[in-house]
Structure 1
Amino acid sequence: MFTGIDEVDWASMEHACGSAEDVPALLRGLASASADERERALDGMYGAVHHQGDVYDSTLACIPFLFALIARKDVADRGGVVELLVSIGGGEDAEPPGSLDPGPASDSASGSAFAPYAQARAAVRAHADVFAGLVEDPDPEVRRAVPPALVRFLDEPARVLDVLCERLEDEPDAAVRLALVEGLGLWARLHPDTAAGALDRLSALGTRADDPALRLAALGQLAGCAPERLPADLVPMAIGLLRARSRTPRQPDRPQGPGTGTLIGQLRRLGPADEEGSQLLRTLHTALGGRVAERIALLNGQLTSPDPADRCNAVWMSAGLFREWRASYAEPVALIGGQLDTDEERLRDAAVCVLEDLFTLAVPAAGPLAALVAARPGSRVRHWERGSPSLGRPLKALTRAGDARAVPVLAELLERPDAPRDLGYEVRHLGPAAAPLAPLLRARLADVPLASDDTCDRAVPLLTALTALRDSAAVPEVRRLLRGAPEGLRRRPALLEAGVRALGAFAAAEGAPVLRDLLTGECAVAAAAALWSVERDTEAVLPVLRAELAADGSPGRRAAADALGALGPQAAPALPGLRRLTESGDVWERTSGACAVWRVTGEAGPVLPVFRTAWRENACTRGTIAACLAEMGPSAAPAHDLLRTELANPRRHRARAGGYGSHDVLEDEQLLRTCRTALDDA
């Protein structure tokens, strides 16, 4: 199977880690008799030869050898190699069959950055008959990996459809049958003009198949490619099928594999306990998309299942719904809170993980969170093999929900020598309820050494908390830190700015001398903004802010504009610079400049067009813009259509494909509140 491998000039090729001279060993490792070696070789292929989906010259050179390998029935774990080939050929990002000419088109693209990907797809398609020969392979893992390979790469649609339908009749393995159903759905999506036969088969399976899992799979595929064919009672039907499936004895989804420390091994061990069920319901949820009421009803059914694996799958699926769509989630969140009182560690951890990112949306689960924190003291702190401890997830979720029951527990931690350093960042979410923590926070700040390697890491979270509490009694501790630290430490922006912001929030006269000393340093803009909060000294502050505003290319221009806006009419001499900033190529600079122009002049006309453009260009600016529109009152009326449209949009403003941030839900909920306030006060 490796004939000619040593004649390839691998040393002249590259992959993600440099020279590709190690590729022959990886390829041979895929055929090893050792399970550990096979897993390490597959991990190496994904980690170097096909790193993060990239295609290198060495990736292309591997393709014939990978096909030779999967054709050998005496080689174990070939299913993973089939999946690797599908990914190399383009996987979910590939064009449908027939869209890419493997001949001249790929040659003409050779000068572009996409040429290797086109060549990889053409090479996999050229060998696609090998996939057809695997539909009856003795290894069910191979048979399970084959349907998407056939649909994507064998350029004979009618033949592929026949193969899928015939195998559904004869296939003995339940997991492979589900893969065949997914293949039918994929085929229907890629060939919509001739999909009637595939859709008829899916409709029949969804209503008449004996296996509840097969029916669920068919319904999920129909939801994605032909929602008009779904039954009217989809949700109760899906919940009933889920219950029926849970009562059916099942084999483990995949072999557990060796206990290697590879990324592939870790992903296998961290995967859902019921991978098959997770995939079935994830497909259905994804296909339902913005049909939020149905998805909530489906989640509620999953979360009340007697099977803990079903409930665990529901918890993980809820996270995507909460992050992407706006709705009233009190019922499913309360049901997720109900999963905390369980001995099923995987289920409990999943629930805590989801609640942690919900902030105030987690309020319906606050009672169970508080009970968990009280019952499991060990969950209050997370210890790491390296680095300092951090706040435990249940306590963090309770704190972020703004629940006062977190306060005595946080107080107890603050009295411990090894208190989690990130605690200070979370205190602000408690609002006024956190006031009793102020003396303990001050005491810890007073104990921070002035010349330690971790001074900044220890001090900044504490300063953040005290700033949120506006605890003016902490001025001496902040002055000590800013004046007593060695020069090198005092030049660290994070430490300086946190201290300066604290003094500005305290608005205490005792902090003014320190702020004046910083007006000529790297933290001049922040110091000027804080000094204005303390003394309203326009003569001292205005020159600093105008100088920064005039510095083209300076990263501090936005902060200077924000500070000038706080001065209001007294910043009038800076208006020419602020108006120039509203024409900046940077959307954030334009936004800050426009906010400042309004706050200085009270004139809405010049800034509303800037807001409208920025609102559409970058959704992340909307919170800042909405806050300024709320300040403007009736003057903002010409832009109220933006606010109404936002409130009517069922999708969160920061929802995006391929990633998310832990604070996305929080920031979206804040935006909605601000929009309502702006409209109510107009």
Structure 2
Amino acid sequence: MTSEELVVDHEQVRIDGFELYEGTPLDVRSVIAGMQQDVKDGFRFEEVPWSRFGHAYGSGHDVPELLTRLRSQNTEMVRQSLNNLWGSVVHQGTVGSVAPLTVPFLLRIAADPSAHHRASTLRLAAAAARREHWGYGTRDTFLKVAAQEWLCDCGGYAMNWSIEASRNAVAADAGLLLPLLHDPDPEVRASACYALATASGEARRITEALHARLAIERIPGVRASLVLAAAELAREHADPHAASWARALCADPEQPADVRVPAALAWLCLVDDPVPDDLHRTLDALVTDDLAGVLDDVPWIAHVDENGLTRTLDQMLNNAEPGVPWVDPWD
């Protein structure tokens, strides 16, 4: 395929589907799979086909400059570059086709202790590797990473492929992310959980690391993130033991509420069973305004609503629609 042919023919896609481009240089999954280690480690942007893929405002040719600025010691420059990347490569929850190409570099920047805004950088990588739920916190959607139906980005590219490619990039660099579960900054630890949960592979290794960190973690929001990350990974990889793990964690009176309530949410998403009375009683006893104040900032919950925990509980327990004013779910 020559450079002149490296453009998606959307008319042909409407006839034959995106599978027409599977495995070609226009398949961003193939580009990620072929990205050499020295290209990633050396930030050799010139060897990445940025212009072949796009974001909300057109070609991805401008992305390398923004990534370069993320490595600056000028905090304001880093902040502005992050804002520009958020507004383009994952514009309003739409993952652009160039987004996966940023993930290996975002992870390396975030892993550098001298970098600024590391937690936000990790969350950007995680956003490139998951679908937006648009306020849905239901049992079916809350821990769902990938899209089953075909979705397209602003330029008409298959967003399913972009998300899959980003997840593959996270899995390939799990070794960079796992040490961040022990980072001195709790926001980095929580964001590392959110990114690791999207990985398309290395599930057992990541799960063991999440469980090990949970045993020693002391920050409530990070503990909740560890539980939800392990559950999301289990859901995506069909771990048959995860539901019983979550149920036992929820029922354990020795565990703090910031572990037991996320474990309850995890169990609700991992099974189709009716909600048992004892789980209702547990949530009734544990969910307080103070707990909601902590959990509302946890990424999974924050993305449901500004009142994320109450909205999530209302949807999971009452089948409420997103945006419906919250009422006491056990009233």
Asked if Structure 1 and Structure 2 have the same fold, meaning a TM-score greater than 0.5 normalized by the shorter chain, the answer is yes
- Give the counterpart of 1:143 among 167, 189, 209: 189
> In 2, Cα distance between the equivalents of 1:22 and 1:158?
37
State which of 220, 243, 248 in structure 2 corresponds to 1:174.
220
Q: Which residue of 2 aligns with 1:48?
A: 88
Partner of 1:287: 316
Secondary structure of 2:277's counterpart equals coil
1:156 has 2:209 as partner: no
TM-aligned CA distance change 1:116 to 1:47, over 3 Å = same
CA deviation string 1:448-488 (max 9, x = no partner) = xxxxxxxxxxxxxxxxxxxxxxxxxxxxxxxxxxxxxxxxx
The one-letter code of the counterpart of 2:317 is L
What is the DSSP-based 3-state SS (H/G/I as helix, E as strand, rest coil) of the residue aligned with 1:129?
A: helix
1:94 to 146, 152, 166: 146
Structure 1 residue 72 displacement after superposition: 0.7
Cα-to-partner distance string for 1:620-640 (whole Å, 9 max, x where unaligned): xxxxxxxxxxxxxxxxxxxxx
Is 1:215 aligned to residue 256 of structure 2?
A: no
Q: Deviation at 1:241?
A: 1.2
- Matched letter for residue 169 of structure 2: A
Quick one: percent identity of the two aligned structures? 26
Residues 15 and 155 of structure 1: is their aligned pair in 2 closer, same or farther, counting only changes over 3 Å? closer
Instruction: From the superposition, tell whether residues 138 and 7 of structure 1 become closer, same or farther in structure 2 (CA, over 3 Å).
Output: same
The answer as to 2:247 corresponding to 1:200 is no
Task: After superposition, give the CA deviation of every residue in 1:249-300 in whole Å (9 maximum; x if it has no partner).
Answer: 979959xxxxxxxxxxxxx9xx84xxxxx4433433333253x7xxxxxxxx
> Residue 9 of structure 1: CA displacement?
6.6
The one-letter code of the counterpart of 1:288 is L
1:5–1:24 contact (8 Å) kept in structure 2: yes
Q: Which amino acid aligns with 2:222?
A: V
Distance 1:183 1:28, change over 3 A: same
2:279 corresponds to which letter in structure 1? L
Matches within 5 A, 1:19-418: 19-51=59-91, 52-56=93-97, 58-91=98-131, 92-94=144-146, 115-153=161-199, 155-192=201-238, 194-196=239-241, 198-207=242-251, 208-226=253-271, 228=273, 231-243=276-288, 246=290, 253=297, 272=306, 278-290=307-319, 319-320=323-324
Q: What per-residue deviation string (whole Å, max 9, x for no partner) do you get for residues 345-400 of structure 1?
A: xxxxxxxxxxxxxxxxxxxxxxxxxxxxxxxxxxxxxxxxxxxxxxxxxxxxxxxx
Label 1:282 to 1:250 Cα distance change in 2 as closer, same or farther (>3 A): closer
Q: Which residue of 1 aligns with 2:31?
A: none
Contact conserved, 2:168 with 2:200, CA < 8 A, in 1? no
Counterpart CA distance in 2 for 1:187 and 1:94 is 11
Distance 1:4 1:123, change over 3 A: same
Deviation readout 1:603-662 (Å, 9 max, x if unpaired): xxxxxxxxxxxxxxxxxxxxxxxxxxxxxxxxxxxxxxxxxxxxxxxxxxxxxxxxxxxx
**Cα offset, 1:14, TM superposition:** 4.2
Match of 2:57 in 1: 17
Q: 1:160: how far off?
A: 2.5
SS of equivalent residue, structure 2 residue 96? coil
The one-letter code matched in structure 2 to 1:171 is: E
1:427-576 map, 5 Å: none
Map 1:597-608 onto structure 2 (within 5 A): none
Contact 2:56 2:89 in 1 (8 A): yes
Question: What root-mean-square deviation, in Å, do the aligned CA atoms of Structure 1 and Structure 2 show?
Answer: 3.8
C-alpha contact (below 8 Å) 1:209/1:215 kept by paired residues = no
Local SS of the residue matching 1:134? helix
- AA in 2 matched with 1:61: L
In the TM superposition, what whole-angstrom CA distance separates every residue of 1:567-621 from its partner, at most 9, and x where no partner exists?
xxxxxxxxxxxxxxxxxxxxxxxxxxxxxxxxxxxxxxxxxxxxxxxxxxxxxxx
CA distance in 1, matches of 2:53, 2:147: 27
User: Unpaired runs of 5+ in structure 2?
Assistant: 1-40, 132-143, 149-156
CA distance in 2, matches of 1:252, 1:188: 22
- Offset of 1:13 from its aligned partner? 5.8
Give the counterpart letter for 1:90 in structure 2: R
Question: Does the 8 Å CA contact 1:202/1:219 hold for their aligned counterparts?
Answer: yes
Cα contact 2:168–2:201 (8 A) shared by 1: no
- Confirm or deny: 8 A CA contact 2:55 2:88 kept in the other structure: yes
Provide the secondary structure at the position in 1 that maps to 2:213: helix
Return the alpha-carbon distance in structure 2 between the equivalents of residues 189 and 85 of structure 1. 20
SS at match of 1:135: helix
Greater shift after overlay, 133-142 or 146-155? 146-155
TM-score between the two structures when normalised by the length of structure 1: 0.34
The SS at the match of 1:66 is helix
Following superposition, the deviation at residue 148 of structure 1 comes to: 3.7
Aligned length: 262
Quote how far apart the aligned CAs of 1:202 are.
2.0
Matched position secondary structure for 2:265: helix
Structure 1 residue runs without a partner (length 5+): 97-110, 255-267, 273-277, 293-316, 323-328, 336-682
User: Aligned to 1:153, what secondary structure does the other structure show?
Assistant: coil
Residue 84 of structure 1: how far off its partner (Å): 1.7
* Native 8 Å contact 2:243 2:271 kept in 1: yes
In the alignment, what sits opposite 2:24? none
CA distance in 2: counterparts of 1:130 and 1:203, whole angstroms: 31
TM-aligned CA distance change 1:151 to 1:248, over 3 Å? closer
Letter aligned with residue 131 of structure 1? L
Deviation, 1:7, is 6.0
| Cα distance in structure 1, aligned partners of 2:147 and 2:293 | 39
Please give the per-residue CA displacement for 1:529-580, whole angstroms capped at 9, x wherever unaligned: xxxxxxxxxxxxxxxxxxxxxxxxxxxxxxxxxxxxxxxxxxxxxxxxxxxx
**Partners of 1:12 and 1:187 in 2: CA distance:** 31
C-alpha distance in 1 between matches for 2:55 and 2:295: 38
